[in-house]
Structure formats: structure tokens, C-alpha cells
Amino acid sequence: MQSQLARAVKLLKQGELVAIPTETVYGLAGNALDEKAVAKIFDVKNRPSFDPLIVHVDSLEKAKEYVAHFPPMAEVLAQKFWAGPLTLLLPKKKIIPDLVTSGLPNVAVRIPNHPLTLELLKQLDFPLAAPSANPFGYLSPTTADHVRQSLGEKIPLILDGGSCQIGIESTIVGFPADVPTIYRKGGISVEDIERIVGQVVVLEKSTSHPAAPGMLIRHYAPHAKMYLGNIDSLLAAHDSPTTVVLSFQRYYDGIPSHRQFVLSPKGDLVEAAQNFFNILHHIDHLHPSVILAELLPEIGLGRAINDRLRRGAMNYSH
């Protein structure tokens, strides 16, 4: 029997899609240079065509084949954080189809840090366009099962690489007017980026036509209604036999433990990020009437997790 990896190589060369593991979340991958394969990605995800895709490569040299100009600051960040959860927005070369970038002049590029996907990329002579492998707007997948549950019937292969180590998407950094700018908070903290390039601009909000559609107001959202705030006050207003609580660190009185979920009992933001989407998928399967959640400390990966909580919640005003 062919190995999963060999099957993945074959399918991708034929222009088919394959779900791939990365250290952040699972991706829905296709040949980034093949417009038909790229169109399939938008179709399977039900993704609007104005929301561009990240291009994945396995070396800095390969990234340079698709980027017209690699500014020194971007190169320093790439040297420091690749392979890893950093996506760079850089001017694209013509070879990258406009469909990939939704007609924008920049291409988003990264080297994912997962052995299986790095081996896959090594065996291909094209880069992989891959958004998170979930229906548009829904929770990102951090296990092969998550992908199977939402897109399983639409794709010929899910390459199972276990649970994602980081658990939230990559941090997206661009350089408009040579100013390092964070378009999406993610698996590398703002503080870690600033330690390398000095102060950065962090784009917080967006409208219906965002700079990066991960910035769309409602995104990363569970099916269940989620309210954000002080959990004791929220419980006073929303407690029912199917209310679920999602907290950072502690359990709350007055609600049974099987309806409480804690992101990191020891208060570790890295662990909270690892657990975040997995716990939300689990909660969603319980079909709660409502999820009551609290924000995490606004530092490190807490900022990235809070960003996703706000975009998934009903009561957050932008």
C-alpha cells in the first residue's frame, strides 16, 4: 500500500486538494501555481474570492522564487522564526496567480514547522496554497478529526500529523511603507516580533473589506452562541441546564464541572493556545444553549487568543 505521503504527492501533482498538518492548524492545500486547484480551495471552503491564501514553502530560497522583493527586516524575521508560525506579506512575482492573492500586490508566504508537511513540500516542485481547513468563518481545525468532521466528504485525503503543537494560526506581518505591521495576531507574540524589529503597528479592527480577512468581524466562530465577559455576571443572566463555561484557568462555583472547560489550569498562555480550538470544537459538539467565556491576560499569546474569542462572540462590538 502506498504511504499517505506518497498519496498526497500524487494527488497534489494531479491538481487535487489534500488537508495537511502544520504546527498551527491544519491547512487545505493545493498547487499554488495551478489556478484550477486554487479555485477548488475557495469552492470547498465556501470562501469568498476576496480572501487571499497563504503560500507554503519549505525553504527561504524557495520563498524568494515567488517574492519580488524581500526587505532586510523581513529576512531577519524569516531567519529567526522560520520554520514556524510567521507569515510574511511581500510583493509577489507574476508566477503567483492573482487568484491566490485576490488581486492584491502582496503574497502571504510561510514555512510551516511540521515534519510531514516539510517532507511533502520537499517532494513537490510547486508551493502549496493553504488556508485553514475549515468551512469559511468556522473554528480552525487542530486535529485530522476536526477536518474530517467538517470537510471530510469534500477532499480525497487528510494527511494525519497528530494534534497541532501551537494550536492557533500564524502571525501575519507586512511592511507597508517599510513599517513592520501585524495584520493578524497569531502563534508568535507581538512582543517576540518587537524584540527583533522594534516597535510594530498592530492592526486591530476591520470592516467588510479587510486588509486581511482573518480580521473579519465574525470569524473563528463556533456554531453555539458565545458571550464574553465576567463569567459570574454572565452566569447570572444566561445560566441554563445546557450553558457551558470556558475559562482561562479556574472553575466557577454553581455550575457542574462537566459543563466547565479550562484552557490552562496552570495559567500558561502557550498551553491555552494549544487547547483553544480543540476545546471549542468539543464544546460545539455538546450543542450548548450558550457558551460563556472570559478574556485572557492581554499579553503574549493571550492577545491572539482574545482576538479569536472576540471574533467568535455575539456581544463584542467592533
How far is Cα 196 from Cα 190, in angstroms, rounded to an integer? 10
Residue 23, binding choice from ligand TXA, Mg ion, none, Cβ under 5 to 8 Å by partner class: none
Specify the residue, 121 or 234, whose C-beta has the smaller distance to ligand TXA: 121
SS3 272: helix
How many residues of this chain interact with Mg ion, rule: CB under 5 A? 1
Q: Which of residues 62-101 bind ligand TXA (CB under 6 A)?
A: 85, 87, 89, 101
Q: Which of residues 114-133 bind ligand TXA (CB under 6 A)?
A: 130-132
Q: Which of residues 253-312 bind ligand TXA (CB under 6 A)?
A: none
CB of 288 to ligand TXA, least distance (A): 25
Specify the residue, 18 or 290, whose C-beta has the smaller distance to Mg ion: 18
How far is Cα 66 from Cα 99, in angstroms, rounded to an integer? 14
Q: Which of residues 175-214 bind ligand TXA (CB under 6 A)?
A: 183-184, 211-214
**Residue 167: which residues within 8 A CB-CB, separation 6 or more?**
24, 25, 142, 187, 273, 274, 275, 276, 277, 278
CB of 41 to Mg ion, least distance (A): 12
Long-range contacts, 31-34 (Cβ 8 Å, 24+): 31/124, 31/126, 31/128, 31/129, 32/56, 32/66, 32/96, 32/97, 32/100, 32/126, 32/127, 32/128, 32/129, 33/95, 33/96, 33/97, 33/126, 33/127, 34/126
Q: Which of residues 83-142 bind Mg ion (CB under 5 A)?
A: 132
Specify the residue, 127 or 131, whose C-beta has the smaller distance to ligand TXA: 131
Residue 244, binding choice from Mg ion, ligand TXA, none, Cβ under 5 to 8 Å by partner class: none
Q: Is 106 in the site for ligand TXA (CB under 6 A)?
A: yes
CB of 296 to ligand TXA, least distance (A): 19
CB of 182 to ligand TXA, least distance (A): 12
Strand 27-31 relative to strand 18-20, pairing: antiparallel
Strand partners, 245: 260, 292
Which residues contact ligand TXA (rule: CB under 6 A)?
22, 24-25, 27, 51-54, 85, 87, 89, 101, 104, 106-108, 112, 130-132, 169-170, 172, 183-184, 211-214
Which residues are near Mg ion by CB under 5 A?
A: 132
